[in-house]
Amino acid sequence: MTNDKIESERKYECHKCWVEMKKEEVETFGPNIIIDVCPKCKGIWLDKGELGKLLKDRELTNYLTKHIGTKSRSPMVCPRCGMTMDIEKADDIEVDVCLNCGGVWLDKDELENLKEKSEEGFKPDESAKFEEMEEERLYKKRNSALSNFFRKFTK
């Protein structure tokens, strides 16, 4: 319980405006959650798992936060852990996801746009994930057996 408390009192800074983000309680389909909102640009920071609670669309949430590969395509640095982030897309909506802690950055209106997508019955294109799943697969392989990795590419 103590850890949870510290976590919820943690303050983040908006990576765009460099101002402290404000805690905001939002209603979800389950118990309310506290999210971090930038008072200036209205960007939102969601810790791991929070996007799922807000969207209640498992498929879309998983699509955006799982199999995100190992390469960073985003210039953003995670406000939570300081690690690199990647850009994930649902059609025209681009969100930044931390490769390390799984937190998600949403610009103004992106949460609403994602909810709309979900209500419209958006079906993620799994084939777009192919490259990133391949990256993850290679990354794991590289970690477990470095020699195998090189053999595969020198053949």
Residues that bind Zn ion (CB under 5 A): 14, 16-17, 38, 40-41, 43, 78, 80-81, 83, 98, 100-101, 103
> Residue 89: which region, alpha, beta or left (left: phi > 0; alpha: psi -120 to 50)?
beta
Nearer to Zn ion, 80 or 117 (CB): 80
Residue recorded with tokens 């998600």: 104
Query: Minimum Å distance from CB 17 to Zn ion?
Result: 3
Nearer to Zn ion, 15 or 117 (CB): 15
Nearer to Zn ion, 78 or 93 (CB): 78
Query: Minimum Å distance from CB 147 to Zn ion?
Result: 32
| Calpha distance 42→33 (Å, rounded) | 17
Nearer to Zn ion, 69 or 103 (CB): 103
Query: Minimum Å distance from CB 10 to Zn ion?
Result: 12
Nearer to Zn ion, 44 or 90 (CB): 44
Query: Minimum Å distance from CB 43 to Zn ion?
Result: 5
| Calpha distance 56→60 (Å, rounded) | 9
Closest CA to 78 of 6, 22, 12, 3: 12
Tokens of 143: 């970690």
Query: Minimum Å distance from CB 1 to Zn ion?
Result: 23
CB 35 within 8 A of CB 45: yes
Residue recorded with tokens 């930038």: 38
